């Protein structure tokens, strides 16, 4: 089964779509995806000159986008927009540099009609780069 491209599910667009592909989707449970870092991304220019490093907050955002993909793929949440409600237990374990591919994982936790949570990680070559719990609240997708 071929999964829809992230841009077909998420409202995010370049330059803020931080998810290139979803490789696994378990409805109501979670997902796995990837973000390929070419090194051409604008943020590498200033973070940091001479030693480009992916900002940790963008790793968190990529995990959250995968979570949003998993949530929005469930028909029960049609017409909703999951927005960040918080981040707990965030830890950054290794530097991520141009040329790396982040393998993203999210496991959805408790969900209600108004909010939900998930536990996610970003890995490079099987090594954890970032892990966190993300909380989100639902807003209506139409303004």
- Active centre residues (catalytic): 47
Question: HEC states along the chain?
Answer: CCCCCHHHHCCCCCCCCCCCEEEEEECCCEEEEEEECCCCCCHHHHCCCCCCCCCHHHHHHHHHHHHHHHHHCCHHHCCEEEEEEEEEEEEECCCCCCCCEEEEEEEEEEECCCEEEEEEEEEECCEEEEEEEEEEEEEECCC
Distances, alpha carbon 94 to alpha carbons 25, 59, 64, 104, in Å? 26, 11, 19, 14
């Amino acid at each position: 089964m071929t999964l829809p491209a992230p841009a077909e599910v998420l409202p995010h667009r370049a330059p803020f779509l931080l998810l290139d592909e979803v490789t696994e989707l378990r409805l109501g449970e979670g997902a796995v995806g990837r973000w390929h870092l070419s090194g051409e991304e604008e943020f590498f220019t200033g973070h940091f000159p001479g030693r480009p490093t992916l900002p940790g907050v963008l790793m968190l955002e990529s995990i959250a986008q995968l979570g949003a993909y998993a949530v929005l793929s469930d028909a029960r949440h049609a017409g909703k927009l999951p927005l960040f409600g918080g981040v707990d237990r965030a830890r950054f374990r290794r530097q991520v540099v141009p040329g790396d591919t982040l393998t993203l994982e999210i496991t959805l936790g408790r969900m209600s009609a108004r909010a939900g949570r998930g536990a996610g990680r970003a890995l490079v070559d099987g090594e954890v780069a970032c892990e966190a719990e993300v909380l989100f609240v639902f807003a209506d997708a139409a303004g």
